[in-house]
Amino acid sequence: MATPSNVKKHDVMIIGTGMTGMAAALFAAQQRLDTVQAGITGEINFASGLLDLFGVHPVSRGCVLTDPWRGLAKLIQDEPLHPYAKLEINTIRMAMRRFVDFLAKADYPYSFHPDEKNLNVITPAGTIKPTYGVPHTMQKGAQALALKQSCLLVDFKGLKGYSARQIALALAHRWPNLKTVRLEFPDLSGELYTERMARSLEEPQARKKLAQAVLPHIENASAVGFPSILGVYRTKDVLQDLERLLGVNVFEIPTMLPTVTGLRLREIFEQHLPAMGVQINFQQRVLACDHLPGGHFRLHIGNEKVNCHVLAKAVILASGRFLGKGLRADRNGIHETLFNLPVHQPSQRSGWHHKDLFHQAGHPINRSGVQVDKYFRPANCQGRVLHEHLFAAGSILAHQDWIRQKCGSGLAIATAYAAVKACKNLVD
Amino acid sequence: MILFFLNICYSPKISAYSVAKKISIIRKYVSQVKIMGVHTKSLFQGDFMQTQVLIIGGGVTGTGLARDLALRGLDCVVVEKQDVNAGASGGNHGLLHSGARYIASDPAAALECQAENRLLKKLAPHCIEQTGGLFVAIAGDDEKYIADFPDLCSKAGIEPQAVDVQDAREMEPGLADNIIAAYAVQDATIDPFKLSLDNMACAQQMGSRLLRYCRVAGMEVQNGRINRVIVQDGLTGKSFSIQAKVVVNASGAWVGQIAALAGIKIEMLYSKGSLLVAQNRVSQRVINRLRPAQDGDIIVPGGTVSILGTTSERVACPDKIYPEVHEVDLIIDEAAAMMPVLASTRYIRAYCGVRPLMGIGSGAAGKDDRSVSRGFTLIDHAKSPHRVENFVTITGGKLTTFRLMAEKTANLVCRRLAITAAGQTRTKLLPNTVDARWTEPGLAPNMWIRKNDPNDILLCECEMVSQSVVEELVNSIKKLNARPGLKDIGLRSRIGKGPCQGTFCSQRLAAYLYDRKHLDNHQGIEELREFLRERWRGQQPLLWDTPLAQAELLEAMHCGLFGLELGANCTNGCNTSNIDQKFTLSRRHGNSK
Ligand SMILES: Cc1cc2nc3c(=O)[nH]c(=O)nc-3n(C[C@H](O)[C@H](O)[C@H](O)COP(=O)(O)OP(=O)(O)OC[C@H]3O[C@@H](n4cnc5c(N)ncnc54)[C@H](O)[C@@H]3O)c2cc1C
Ligand SMILES: Cc1cc2nc3c(=O)[nH]c(=O)nc-3n(C[C@H](O)[C@H](O)[C@H](O)COP(=O)(O)OP(=O)(O)OC[C@H]3O[C@@H](n4cnc5c(N)ncnc54)[C@H](O)[C@@H]3O)c2cc1C
């Protein structure tokens, strides 16, 4: 298919609308790059909405970090191939700051430990997870856990996979002052979905009814924990209003997927990025890519069929791993799906996974991926850059295990930041 | 007097629950005899119970024997170290053999299979799908074997119908186009879980007892008799003892270990076989390869799926076995030679079981294990060189011949007890109990749709298992005097067996069980881990393409978000990895277009 010569050539095409792609688009727009983006978005991409920076090191000993920054300094020594090791600590710090500043301006601030340490949050399984930043709606939960305050945990009839009793009992040995109550959610019945609940709490009437149902159970609790359903867009209002009505602190606890906390991030990006000039091809994929003279690209965009073409001077590949479809595996090996980039991987399939799901060392396949140089350009095993104008960022990168290292969002944001910076230098 | 202990370290399962306390405890027993061993004190201060016949092993043989004996009016206790069908009975192909597979290697076993096949179709029709079977040869297969096949069959009473190759491909459109011969036989499929659970339920209704998660750990042998069998409760770690007139060792591949507790040596070797579950049912009938038995010869349909297998690999011990990547590849390649679509089908689970190989000694190490007899071995230890008069071992054989094995064993037990009651399993229908219903693919969704109750929430969306189904299972497990755990419910339903492999339903089930007060303190976390580990065992060698993405989601949620790997203790020593940690780069196939 020929492309008319009058088609505009953009500065950068970002492939992927997960955490990495969204962060890259944000940074690119902030750098005034003329940006196009494509990818399939679901709130599942943003999962819990927790911002992990670095939570466990070394993975093989399962050491939970209280100070992620000190952990990062150690990681850079211990794992020089790790994508974080290609970055200055200050670059990581800057990337995180820019990212959360954007969210704060979008009226959805995140909260952090006052000394920039990791926070502990409770999960619906009744475990405690280290993370770096939490949505403001979760802040008082982290605080209550730290102080072991007496709390009332609320759950709802019809909301499956979330049991206040499970959380309270599983945590009893670490947090004894938890009470629980199961309520009917006002005006909804049968099976409940968190998104419906969250949307309904945007209305003051629903909050009033909910508060009335909760009030008799508060007794001496100094905070009330809900599943993450406290609004989609006006979370500050919802939280304040409920605290006023209940007279105690209120906080959210993450739920199973899909989550409202993920949905909120997705909505913010989808609203704000176009307003910042990013041209997003929603729910479309890059199906193929031609290399043009001068190192530029022509990308074929669509779903099953090609809908349009985009010309770009540079590409940032943020297409994720197997779930995101940036990588694909068959019985014989692992492949990168779009450019057929070399993929660093175990030499045999029998080396992909351990026989124990929870094996301490983490599954080797999770450290497979695309290797990059210090400018985040994919490179072969000799370190030779394969394409001057192609960058890769996020979970597709080799030599990291974001799941076990608890660094998913941090890695996404920091590497997106670095890739955009390198891209900017190139395009200028 | 001598005491023997199983020298295996045992990590108590949280989900284990003792029923010993609730059942008729006869009296406190304080040992007055001199005992050897370290744990003797705690062992002999425990409670103890009595029964006529103690059956060790809750597989299809042990549960079948319990029913047979109960029908003759005897009182039995079945002790099982894990749950019903934890051994080979839960790790097999589910093929009700026509017998034709053994015509060359073991004509006697072929004959037994043929006869039992006919009987079981009448006696346990609710456990059996009468699929019929085909034996097919493909170009290049042994011509002589193909030519001899009909004759060898008829010698074992099997009458195969020659089928025109063209017709065979019309009957089973998935067959490869290079089929050169085909025969129809009376194969069928049988649900081993239903079979064992129904057998056990039937025995329990007549007063027999099942003790799950109770491991036989020692025996007190005095004057050529087993005085007491020492059983360790998996939950409490405490021991109690059982006094029985006759002890039957029906522990499958573990019979050597059990016999050793009574001071008897049984020479055994172990052969592991692995199987794959394909997401779709690729044939209506059982498809066998028409050749001397080898790896990857059989494709068995079951409900909405097909099961491919099997392999035969020597293993050093019957525990800690896993389906391996190279077996998976071999099975797929062989099965795809018969049905090409299997090369690209999605596989949802792999599993394996161990066959006990009896009496071939270590000298036979080079021999193909498949040529070892598939007939069963019944040993009357009253006649062993090391005589133990109230001890019987039954092992080997097939799922297909379990009834016959149970019957012969029961005959021997009755002779020993001078009881004349005749066996009834040859004529009495096996009752269909509620217990086993929910393992059937498709049943839960049908019921749920029919009920159409908005409050009956689906806990497992892949297989459509709702709260009310789980509630029913909880109640039936409680009837066994046990605490319903995640794994127990998994065993009895299709929860966690759909494409999400437990990612979502595991936590939903945990939450539900907490709400119903079946889980307490941090039990649920350990049960979640165990449930997911169990699922993982079967997924791990099959992770490429979509299932790999699914596994990533599973790990992202359960480790990334819940952090379940933190503080998870390795069970079964599986944390000592021997996987190849070498990395390479995939070959670059040049730039795309
Ligand atoms: C279950 C779960 C739990 C999580 N928990 C946490 C947590 O607790 N803390 C935390 O910080 N993070 C968590 N995360 C989020 C995690 O940080 C990110 O999902 C991860 O870092 C991957 O981000 P990514 O953007 O690199 O890839 P993905 O999120 O996989 O995004 C890849 C994107 O690329 C697109 N794509 C792929 N191929 C193409 C193509 N050809 N054309 C166009 N687009 C394409 C996909 O459509 C998708 O939009 C969790 C994620 C999951 C799934
Ligand atoms: C891969 C494979 C495929 C097969 N396919 C078929 C087929 O298609 N058709 C067919 O007819 N047959 C088939 N078989 C054979 C069939 O599965 C077995 O013959 C049958 O299941 C044996 O049942 P069992 O009860 O004797 O032994 P098992 O089912 O192994 O039962 C023994 C039980 O003893 C328990 N136990 C062990 N030690 C102790 C202890 N110390 N205390 C308490 N309990 C203990 C174990 O946990 C186990 O549950 C296959 C076998 C394998 C391995």
Chain A residues within an 8 Å CB radius of B580 = 346-348, 350-351
- Provide the CB-side half-sphere exposure for B293 (13 A, CA): 20
Neighbours of B585 (CB within 10 A): 18
Q: What is the pLDDT of residues A338-389, one digit of tens each?
A: 999 999 999 999 999 999 999 999 999 999 999 999 999 999 988 899 999 9
% of chain B with per-residue pLDDT over 70: 82
Q: What are phi and psi of A416, to 5 degrees?
A: -60, -45
H helix runs in A66-138, sequence order: 68-78, 89-105
pLDDT interval class at A44 (50, 70, 90): low
Buried b (16+ CB within 10 A) or exposed e, B350-361: bbbbbbbbbebe
How open is the CA angle B315-B319-B322, to the nearest 5 degrees? Answer: 70
Examine the pLDDT at B419 and tell me if it is beyond 90: yes
Phi-psi region of B2 (alpha: psi -120 to 50; beta: other; left: phi over 0): beta
Hey, is A59 helix, strand or coil?
helix
| Whether residue A43 has pLDDT greater than 90 | no
Q: Is B353 in the pocket of ligand 2 (CB under 6 A)?
A: yes
Q: Say if CB B348 and CB B277 are below 8 A apart.
A: yes
SS3 content of chain A, % helix, strand, coil (to 5): 35, 25, 40
Average per-residue pLDDT for chain B: 84
Q: Whose CA is nearest to atom 26 of ligand 2?
A: B252
Distances (CA, A) of A314 to A40, A311, A390, B580: 20, 9, 6, 38
Residue B569 is predicted with a pLDDT of 60
The average pLDDT across A5-19 equals: 87
All residues of chain A having their beta carbon less than 8 Å from the beta carbon of residue B579 are 350-351, 353-355, 364
- Burial class for B415, CB neighbours closer than 10 Å (0-12, 13-18, 19+): exposed
The pLDDT confidence band at residue B465, using thresholds 50, 70 and 90, is confident
User: Rounded to whole angstroms, how far apart are CA atoms B451 and B117?
Assistant: 37
Give the CA-trace dihedral at B569, B573, B577, B578, to 10 degrees. 180
Asked if pLDDT for residue B505 goes beyond 90, the answer is: yes
List the beta bridge partners of residue A207: none
What domains lie within chain B, and their CATH numbers? 2-87+193-267+375-416 (3.50.50.60), 98-190+269-358 (3.30.9.10), 442-561 (no CATH)
Cβ atoms of residues A234 and A74 within 8 Å: no
- Residue B43 and residue B244: Cα distance in Å, rounded? 17
Per the CB < 8 A criterion, the answer to whether A34 and A424 are in contact is no
Q: For B384, which DSSP code?
A: S
**Banded model confidence at residue B83, pLDDT cuts 50, 70, 90:** confident
Contact B525, A126 (CB under 8 A): yes
**Cα A428 from chain centroid?**
30
Q: List the residue whose alpha carbon is closest to atom 17 of ligand 1.
A: A408
CA distance B206 to B183: 44
Determine the Cα–Cα distance for residues B281 and B307; give it in Å rounded to an integer: 8
What the block records as the tokens of A178 is 């938890």
CA atoms within 13 A on the CB side of B438: 31
Chain A interface mutation, best of B319, B501, B548, highest count of A Cβ atoms under 10 Å: B548
Q: Which residues lie below 8 Å from residue B238, measured CB to CB, with a gap of 6+?
A: B18, B42, B46, B232
If pLDDT is split at 50, 70 and 90, which confidence band does A161 have?
Answer: very high
Please state the rounded mean pLDDT for residues A31-43: 89
B179-185/B133-138 β-pairing? antiparallel
CB A51 within 8 A of CB A410: yes
CB pairs under 8 A between A and B: 241
**Angstrom distance (rounded) from CA B94 to CA A120:** 48
Mean per-residue pLDDT for B144-154? 95
What is each CA distance from A237 to A101, A240, B413, in whole angstroms? Answer: 19, 5, 76
What spacing in Å lies between the alpha carbon of B86 and ligand 2's midpoint?
8
Note the ligand closest to the C-alpha atom of A396: 1
Shortest CA distance to A11 belongs to which of A31, A34, A30? Answer: A34
Q: What is the Cα–Cα distance from A266 to A280, expressed in whole angstroms?
A: 13
Q: Which of B4, B13, B63, B89 to mutate to test the pocket of ligand 2 (most atoms within 8 A of CB)?
A: B89
When comparing pLDDT for B367 and B446, which is higher? Answer: B446
| pLDDT at residue A242 tops 60 | yes
**pLDDT exceeds cutoff 50 at A1:** no
Question: CA B127, B129, B130, B133 torsion: positive or negative?
Answer: negative
B532: closest chain A residue by CA:
A357
Over pLDDT 70: what percentage of chain A?
Answer: 97
Strands A249-253 and A178-183: unpaired
Asked if pLDDT for residue B20 goes beyond 70, the answer is: no
- Sketch the domain layout of chain A as residue ranges: 9-103+263-427, 124-253
The Å distance, Cα A255 to ligand 1 centre, comes to: 18
Task: Give tens-digit pLDDT for B473-504.
Answer: 888 878 766 778 898 888 778 888 877 889 99
Could you tell me which residues come within 8 angstroms of residue B266 by beta carbon, excluding any fewer than 6 positions away?
B255, B256, B259, B260, B358, B379, B393
Per-residue confidence (pLDDT) for residue B445, from 0 to 100: 63
Q: Does B34 have pLDDT greater than 80? A: no
Which pLDDT value is given to residue B439?
64
* ipTM for the assembly: 0.96
Q: What is the mean pLDDT of chain A?
A: 95
Q: How far is the CA of B552 from the centre of ligand 1 (A)?
A: 11
Q: What is the pLDDT of residue B5?
A: 36
Contact B555 A339 (CB under 8 A): no
Give the alpha-carbon dihedral of B29, B33, B37, B41, to 10 degrees: 30
Write down the residue that tokens 């081993």 correspond to: B192
Q: Specify the CATH number of the domain A124-253.
A: 3.40.50.1860
Question: Does residue B345 have a pLDDT over 60?
Answer: yes
What per-residue confidence (pLDDT) applies to A259? 92
Residue showing tokens 């009335």: A212
Q: How far B471 CA lies from chain A's nearest CA (Å)?
A: 15
The confidence score (pLDDT) of residue B582 equals 64
- Please state the pTM of the whole predicted model: 0.86
| Yes or no, beta carbons of A349 and B568 under 8 Å apart | no
Q: What is the CATH number of domain A9-103+263-427?
A: 3.50.50.60
Segments of B238-333 assigned E as strands: 239-249, 268-278, 286-289, 298-302, 305-309, 313-315
For residue B210, list its beta bridge partners: B78
Contact (CB, 8 A) for B238 and B44: no
Q: Which residues have C-beta atoms less than 6 Å from ligand 1?
A: A 15-21, 38-41, 44-45, 47-48, 50-52, 257, 285-286, 318-320, 323-326, 338, 394-395, 402, 408-409, 412; B 553, 556-557, 560-561
Q: At residue B572, does pLDDT exceed 80?
A: no
Q: Which is it for the CA torsion B302, B306, B312, B317, positive or negative?
A: negative
Residue of A nearest to B457 (CA): A191
What's the confidence (pLDDT) of residue B438? 61
B347 vs B548: CA distance, rounded Å: 11
Q: Measured on CA atoms in the order A421, A422, A423, A425, is the torsion positive or negative?
A: positive
Using the atom order of ligand 2, give the atom closest to the CA of residue B6: 41
- Structure confidence at residue A7 as a pLDDT band (50, 70, 90): confident
Residue A147 has pLDDT above 50, yes or no: yes
Q: Which two tokens stand for residue B574?
A: 């599986």
Q: Answer whether B582 sits within 8 Å of A351, measured CB to CB.
A: yes
Contact criterion met (CB < 8 Å) for A123 and B582? no
The CA distance from A12 to A279, in Å, is 11
- Residues 415-474 in B contacting A (C-alpha not used; CB under 8 Å): 454-455, 457-459
User: Beta strands A151-156 and A223-227: pairing type?
Assistant: parallel
Q: pLDDT at position B567, please?
A: 80
- The predicted model gives B333-347 an average pLDDT of 96
Q: CA torsion, points B208, B212, B214, B220, in degrees to nearest 10?
A: 20
Question: Which amino acid, residue A124?
Answer: P
pLDDT(B13) > 70? no
Distance from CA of B468 to the nearest CA of A (A): 13
Least confident of A105-119, A404-418, B347-361: B347-361
Same fold across A9-103+263-427 and A124-253: no
Which residues of chain B are within 8 Å of residue A291 when distances are taken between CB atoms? 591
What is residue A143's three-state secondary structure? helix
Tell me how far apart the alpha carbons of residues A82 and B138 are, in angstroms, rounded to a whole number.
Answer: 51
